[in-house]
Amino acid sequence: MNKFLSAVFIFLAVFIGFNVTAQGGTMANKKALVVYFSRTGEQYSVGNITKGNTAFVAEEIAAQTGADLFEIKLKNDTYPAAYKALTEVALREKKEKARPEIAGGVTNFADYETVFIGTPNWWADMPMAVYTFLESYDFTGKTVAPFVTHEGSGASSIPSKIQKTTGTDVTDALAIAGHTAQNDRAETKKQVSIWLKKTGF
């Protein structure tokens, strides 16, 4: 091999080697977080529940992606357990643009490259505590993937509200019926899997 070919060969070996290492490093450091809000108590179409509909979807996403989980809980939770009473409180908070304080937080938020945001559809919007969370963190440069449980309205305009609030582009949302998430584990698993593939996870 003449000197020129050797130099080209060494250059290519180093260049390819470097790129493989860099990609491997990026993949290894790819961290994902599932943030969600979900209620127990009396819920539309599913009766009295001890685990919320959105919680089932959140846990399924975490199981399929290896993501960490963070549940948005109110610091001072005075929401009624009865469905109708809760809808009234929720509507009032939406009109007032309330920002209920949330308990705890994500200490290492900057480490996450992907953040899944899960919420029930409340009056074609999110519970106000989800806004409290979204407004408390810097989403710059992150991939934000919304998922919504509902009982007929689908995701409404929740994805664009998340996009506006975080200032980040969002992926296509997963909208799944609350009663499906609550009662049909296999179907939930399937819908989550299809959505994750479609959105490139």
Binding stretches for ligand FMN (CB under 6 A): 38-39, 43-44, 52-55, 86-87, 90, 120-124, 149-153, 178
Measured CA to CA in angstroms, residue 33 lies from 73, 111, 131 at distances of 16, 10, 17
* DSSP, residue by residue, 84-142: HHHHHHHHHHHHHT----BSS--TTGGG-SEEEEEEE-BTTB--HHHHHHHHHS--TT-
- The residue at minimum Cβ distance from ligand FMN is 178
Minimum gap (Å) between residue 55 Cβ and ligand FMN: 6
**Is the Cβ of residue 52 or residue 146 nearer to ligand FMN in the bound state?**
52
**Is the Cβ of residue 142 or residue 150 nearer to ligand FMN in the bound state?**
150
**Paired tokens of 87:** 């809808």
d(CA 45, CA 188): 17
CA angle 115, 117, 121 (to 5 degrees): 170
**Is the Cβ of residue 178 or residue 201 nearer to ligand FMN in the bound state?**
178
**Is the Cβ of residue 26 or residue 48 nearer to ligand FMN in the bound state?**
48
**Is the Cβ of residue 150 or residue 161 nearer to ligand FMN in the bound state?**
150
CA angle 172, 193, 183 (to 5 degrees): 100
Minimum gap (Å) between residue 16 Cβ and ligand FMN: 48
**Is the Cβ of residue 87 or residue 114 nearer to ligand FMN in the bound state?**
87
Minimum gap (Å) between residue 138 Cβ and ligand FMN: 26
Minimum gap (Å) between residue 195 Cβ and ligand FMN: 16
Minimum gap (Å) between residue 83 Cβ and ligand FMN: 6
Distance of alpha carbon 21 from the chain centroid: 29
Minimum gap (Å) between residue 119 Cβ and ligand FMN: 8
**Paired tokens of 115:** 């953040």
d(CA 173, CA 162): 11
